[in-house]
Amino acid sequence: MAKINTAYAAAHFALELDGRDSVGLFRSVEGGGVKADVMTYQHGANYDRWRQLGKPKFEDIKIQVGMSMSQPFYQWLSDFMKGVPTRKTGAIVAADFYYNERARRNFAGAMIKELTFPKLDGGDKNAAYMTVALSVEDIAFIKGSGTRLAPPQGFDKQKLWTACNFNFTLDDYSAACRRVTKVDSFTVKQNVAEHNVGGFKNAIKTPTAVEYPNISFYVPEADAQPFFDHMAKRVGFGGKGNGEVRPAAKMHGTLETFDHSHGTLFTLEYFGADIVSVTPDKSDASSEEVKQVKVELYTEKMTMRYG
């Protein structure tokens, strides 16, 4: 057993949910602090002021995760993408290099507030990570027991997800999307409203509507003409769109990520999409890079399927 009073460098972080010993290890964690507002009082003509602490406020917990988590965690992400506000209790455990537990943060009433997908690039072979922000109703800081964490299950799976292994599709434009080179990072958000009840110091947090972001992807300019034509007919410019049959709106598509053996890691599906903008990259006579065009879509809904 480790000497739990000695200083240590946190090397491993584990997540526990709903009484499970561990649902996986993740890359980093930040936030999760607690603070209180200072309330100032002054009585009548008396210039003296008195101060006291108000209600506690808990910072959002942000964790970076990849493909090394277990099924319960990804099911939580899937529920969030569908707009199902699932609350969880659990803990974030910090361990030293030898997987000995050194500190833990127990939390209650946690809901996913934001899910940020990383930038995907066909030329980037680095590991990719998602960022998940958790809004919690209560946190307890507890000293680590020094016991050894259970051997991590599937931690090597993270090595399988690199930013270059993905496939992007869009209805009726499969040929134009076959050479998508990049997909920008985007964030799905669900704001949380605080409800204060008399007699309770902690605020009750309730979810609001899920906000689905725009998706931006890049194709070579040689493949971009169908997107220019689509937007011209939908919006009406360049001599098109007047009296012509407009292309169908509210398109559907997928963003699929793979491991090195081309096995599916997760599939993001988006609905109710249409093209917002088509923007050619800067032209430079001294550049040797392939000329790219940025295409931006709005979306109405997204779902996420793991494995």
pTM equals 0.84
* Residue 19: Cβ-neighbour burial (10 angstroms; 0-12, 13-18, 19+): exposed
pLDDT digits (tens, 9 = 90+) for 59-69: 999 998 887 67
In this prediction, residue 189 carries a pLDDT of 94
* Residue 61: Cβ-neighbour burial (10 angstroms; 0-12, 13-18, 19+): buried
46's CB contacts (< 8 A; 6+ apart) are none
Asked, for residue 78, whether it belongs to a domain, the answer is yes
User: Per mean pLDDT, which of 21-35, 203-217, 285-299 is the most reliable?
Assistant: 203-217
Asked, for residue 39, whether it belongs to a domain, the answer is no
Asked, for residue 285, whether it belongs to a domain, the answer is yes
Asked, for residue 1, whether it belongs to a domain, the answer is no
Asked, for residue 276, whether it belongs to a domain, the answer is yes
- Distance, in Å, from the CA atom of 281 to the CA atom of 293, rounded to the nearest integer, reads 6
Q: Which domain holds residue 83?
A: 12-34+54-306
Asked, for residue 29, whether it belongs to a domain, the answer is yes
Domain count, the chain: 1
pLDDT digits (tens, 9 = 90+) for 28-59: 888 888 888 888 888 877 888 888 888 888 89
pLDDT of 271 strictly over 90: yes
In this prediction, residue 238 carries a pLDDT of 62
pLDDT digits (tens, 9 = 90+) for 151-198: 555 555 555 688 999 999 999 898 889 999 999 999 999 988 887 777
Asked, for residue 6, whether it belongs to a domain, the answer is no
Asked, for residue 209, whether it belongs to a domain, the answer is yes
